[in-house]
Chain A
């Protein structure tokens, strides 16, 4: 069974560009989470989604960041007009219904020049 897949693994953007990060959860998992790991900091929760619904976005910055998990296809984390402070590793995790364990993908490392 394939685990959580994220792409791209590395992404370089210039200030002001858009970054789109993709996450395919473990097959059969209906819950998706996004976390951010800034350099020398711990993992911080951003958003929790189920298919076509945002359940908890309490960790999302108010501006420029959005997330979706459509009925078909991967979950997308979109960052508009990136700034240098957005440089970080972004991890996606998934869990099956009825279970609390979250399984993480390998992450996307975003570098903003």
Chain B
């Protein structure tokens, strides 16, 4: 069964304090790994898709990386507006499989 585990569950940082969020996964053939941001009371907002080990994607203060077993979301010099829950999800290569399997998320708080 495909599984995603995110750590830590919650993380508090000071503004400007860089850190990384972890997403470990097991999947029967990876079609893609996805990162989303979710603010309270809202739907997940798409951030990145990663397809193969070694791939990296960047957007503003965020950089996502992928290995064969895990993905990291690096946050450089975060600002309070980066506070949100960050969700990781995998999509399997199985024929017809389009569903996303999500982790529990990491709740990130950036203090000014």
Which residues of A line the B interface, CB within 8 A? 4, 31, 33, 35, 41-45, 48, 55-56, 58-59, 91, 95, 100-107
Contacts and interface: CB of A to CB of B under 8 A. Distances in A.
A42 B104 contact: yes
Contact of A107 (B43, B87, B102, B104): B43
B96 interface: yes
B: contact size bracket: 20 to 34
Interface stretch (B18-26, B44-52, B63-71): B44-52
Nearest to B89: A43
B43 A102 contact: no
A71 to B, nearest CB: 20
A104 B103 CA distance: 16
9 contacts: A31-B98, A35-B102, A41-B104, A42-B87, A43-B100, A55-B96, A91-B44, A101-B46, A101-B49
B59 interface: no
A98 to B, nearest CB: 12
Contacts of B103: 42
Given A42-B102, A100-B49, 8 more contacts: A44-B102, A45-B99, A56-B96, A56-B97, A100-B31, A102-B46, A106-B43, A107-B42
